[in-house]
Amino acid sequence: MAESKKHRKKDTGTTEAAPQRDTSSAVPARLAVLKTYKLYVGGAFPRSESGRSYSVTSSDGAHLANAALASRKDARDAVLAARKAFGGWSARTAYNRGQILYRVAEVLEGRRAQFEADLVDADGVSADEAARLVSAAIDRWVYYAGWTDKIAQVAGGSNPVSGPYYNHSAPEPTGVVAVVAPPQGPLLGLVSVLAPIIAGGNTAIVVASERAPLAAVTLGEVLATSDLPGGVVNILTGRVAELAPPLAGHADVNALDLTGAGDLAAELEEAAAATLKRVLRPRAEEDWFADPGLSRVTPFLETKTVWHPIGV
Amino acid sequence: MPDTALASATTASNTSLRAYLHGLPGVDEVGARARAADLSTRSIKTTAKAEAIDLAIRMVDLTTLEGADTAGKVRALAGKAKHPDPADPSVPRVAAVCVYSDLVAVAVEALAGSGVGVASVATAFPSGRAPLEAKLIDTRRAVADGAGEIDMVIDRGAFLSGDYVKVHDEIVAVKEACGSAHLKVILETGELVTYDNVRRASWLAMHAGADFIKTSTGKVAPAATLPVTLIMLEAVRDFRAATGRQIGVKPAGGIRTTKDAIKNLVLVNETAGSDWLDPAWFRLGASSLLNDLLMQRTKLTTGTYSGPDYYTLD
């Protein structure tokens, strides 16, 4: 543990006060208070039901922290939490959802130093690059916060039909979406897949990057303090091969985002077919800095079309 | 174990009943909670779990007790009672359907020949605040319409104010009105305040002729908690040892998940014994529990988690 703490300080160059060793030999050096990385389910931070954890290492192999190793039952609990939160979240006005997503960006901005340190540790990137990644992640929240109340105008509208009908289409959220976050891009990649799903009014269960899950857990802390109702986002850390199959087969999950599923994607899509889930397949070589448009929002929206007679 | 010197209960006075009931050993509250919590940590998996789920389904009294109940809703519930999962004929049927007394005739017709019993709440359920004559008319009407089981409520006001004779005599009168129908006596433990009172009410009801003692109406919280069920199971165990008569137990209200149901079954097996692990002696009063049991059953047979969208809302 001490080693990882040192490692973090060295790379981030933060200006924490040095331990005051020289004041008095009778006062022992302060013990660092290390964070327990847990899951984020239903607005709370539970440990894994299985009691397991695994060691998360930095890009050069040093131990950073232990993360919870979630089990199939944690995935099930997360689905329950997401389903419970769906009614309230989807019923909020799109404008209100936008305000909350913007609030997430605000809170994230306030904790950027911590995320930059996380990224330096996890990916071995330079401090400048880490700052650029965190800025892009914050901007992405703002981007989707702006979209929430404009999706309907772009993805829906009134349709010209041949007949005495007023015909109107409106996008509605698909429901509970299970997401396999990309293994690369512990923060920007995660935000890029998660934000569009909840912007549309869905609730999400995220399987965080197996290799670098710490930023995801810290993001959970940001979400928990951003007026986002508990259960709208649920974050699981652990083995993708263990968590993704029960989510893909779960009858109460409505859609799958397989962005980070890798070799498992085909198998997961097959499992999802039994309950006719929407599936977003992984794409080759994502550029997380590129303008995503609505390409990640519309796959998780259902179009409702209403025919209303006129002239009577 | 209490002595059984209550042979002349029907002619007893409040003083003698009080002396008897308050002479029962007190309940160790902390101990009861700890015992129930300890037993609920048992891990029941795979084949044992599959058996427990099927047994729990067979023990369910599928219940609808709403002011908004209609004949249509009772018929729908009866259909579900006969075939809980239409997609899987291997699912056993439930023990009984439990309705208000005015809907008994509808339930009896819908369940004719199915083997599923019809239970009716009676005696001014859930408060029990009505004249005895009204309670008896309510009961006789339900029995005449074909109810095989009557769920009556005790007069908690009388019980709490120490008028044990009134409670006792009401149960005796309703038992007589039941004729051949089984009588379940609802203690409404959520209103009895102490575990000692739960034990006293259990013994009073058993002496008065109850065939079943039931925890709650489901209209008062807390309803069927594990320690309360534990105390009632101890009571029926001791009562059989003392008198040779076996009484059933029915926790009702607040049992919503398969896990809750299995905890109850463990409690039955470890407290009263395996003789009670049968729908004739143990029932689960519930409505939403059945769907969760079916979902868990599907999980065990298919390996994937099911969702509430695939089961009827009732």
Q: How far apart are CA B218 and CA B100, in angstroms?
A: 13
So where are chain B's domains? Answer: 11-302
Domain B11-302 has CATH 3.20.20.70: yes
Average pLDDT over residues B202-209: 96
Choose among B273, B196, B206: nearest CA to B243.
B206
Helical ranges in B9-131 per DSSP H: 14-21, 29-39, 46-59, 71-82, 104-111
Structure tokens at A85: 């939160």
At A238-289, the pLDDT tens digits run 999 999 999 999 999 999 999 999 999 999 999 999 999 999 999 988 899 9
Asked if the Cβ–Cβ distance from B305 to A249 is below 8 Å, we say yes
Choose among B166, B170, B159: nearest CA to B199.
B159
pTM of the complete model: 0.87
Q: How far apart are CA B58 and CA B51, in angstroms?
A: 11
Asked if the Cβ–Cβ distance from B308 to A246 is below 8 Å, we say no
Is residue A12 domain-resident? no
CA A234 to chain CA centroid, Å, is 8
Is residue A69 domain-resident? yes
CA A249 to chain CA centroid, Å, is 20
Is residue A122 domain-resident? yes
The pLDDT > 70 percentage for chain A reads 92
Name the minimum distance, in Å, from the CA of B299 to any CA of chain A. Answer: 9
pLDDT at A312: 60
Would you say residue A9 has pLDDT above 60? Answer: no
Q: Are A178 and A191 in contact (CB under 8 A)?
A: no
The total domain count for chain A is 1
Active site residue B299: no
Is residue A15 domain-resident? no
CA-based angle A42:A45:A48, to the nearest 5?
95
Q: How far apart are CA B194 and CA B214, in angstroms?
A: 16
Average pLDDT over residues B186-204: 96
Is residue A8 domain-resident? no
pLDDT at B314: 78
Average pLDDT over residues A220-247: 97
pLDDT at A10: 43
Active site residue B61: no
Per-residue pLDDT band at B11 (split at 50, 70, 90): low
Q: Is the N-terminal amide bond of A229 cis, ω within 30° of 0?
A: no
Chain position carrying tokens 């199959």:
A245
pLDDT at A24: 60
Asked if the Cβ–Cβ distance from B304 to A271 is below 8 Å, we say yes
B129: which DSSP letter? -
Would you say residue A15 has pLDDT above 80? Answer: no
CB contact residues (below 8 A), chain A span 79-108, against chain B: 79, 83
Name the minimum distance, in Å, from the CA of B221 to any CA of chain A. Answer: 22
Per-residue pLDDT band at A49 (split at 50, 70, 90): very high
Complex ipTM tops 0.85? no
Residue B308: its chain A contacts at CB < 8 A? Answer: 83, 252
Q: What is the mean pLDDT of chain B?
A: 94
At B115-130, the pLDDT tens digits run 999 999 999 999 999 9
Is residue A255 domain-resident? yes
Among chain A residues, the shortest Cα distance to B307 is held by: A252
Q: How far apart are CA B218 and CA B121, in angstroms?
A: 12
User: Which residues of B lie closer than 8 Å to A, measured between beta carbons?
Assistant: 303-310
Active site residue B196: no
Asked if the Cβ–Cβ distance from A252 to B303 is below 8 Å, we say no
Is residue A28 domain-resident? no
Among chain B residues, the shortest Cα distance to A246 is held by: B304
CATH code: domain of residue A52: 3.40.605.10
At B43-85, the pLDDT tens digits run 999 999 999 999 999 999 999 999 999 999 999 999 999 999 9
pLDDT at A75: 97
Q: How far apart are CA A49 and CA B68, in angstroms?
A: 40
Among chain A residues, the shortest Cα distance to B296 is held by: A76
Mutation to test the B interface, candidates A252, A268, A277, most B Cβ within 10 Å: A252
Q: How far apart are CA B256 and CA B104, in angstroms?
A: 25
The alpha-carbon radius of gyration of chain B (Å, integer) is: 19
At A158-194, the pLDDT tens digits run 999 999 999 999 999 999 999 999 998 899 999 999 9
A&B contacts, CB < 8 Å:
26
N- to C-terminal Cα separation, chain A: 75
Q: How far apart are CA B153 and CA B101, in angstroms?
A: 13
Would you say residue A17 has pLDDT above 90? Answer: no
Would you say residue A2 has pLDDT above 80? Answer: no
Asked if the Cβ–Cβ distance from B305 to A271 is below 8 Å, we say no
Per-residue pLDDT band at A52 (split at 50, 70, 90): very high
Asked if the Cβ–Cβ distance from A249 to B310 is below 8 Å, we say no
Asked if the Cβ–Cβ distance from B304 to A79 is below 8 Å, we say no
Choose among A97, A82, A84, A101: nearest CA to A39.
A82
Q: How far apart are CA B245 and CA B241, in angstroms?
A: 8
Name the minimum distance, in Å, from the CA of B304 to any CA of chain A. Answer: 6
Would you say residue A22 has pLDDT above 60? Answer: no
Per-residue pLDDT band at A7 (split at 50, 70, 90): very low
At B33-43, the pLDDT tens digits run 999 999 999 99
* DSSP H/E element including A177: strand A176-180
Q: How far apart are CA B310 and CA A18, in angstroms?
A: 60
Q: Is A250 on the interface with B (CB under 8 A)?
A: yes
Q: How far apart are CA B121 and CA B104, in angstroms?
A: 10
pLDDT at B12: 75
pLDDT at B313: 84
At B214-256, the pLDDT tens digits run 999 999 989 999 999 999 999 999 999 999 999 999 999 999 9
Q: In what order do the strands lie in the sheet with A165-173?
A: A157-159, A165-173, A301-309
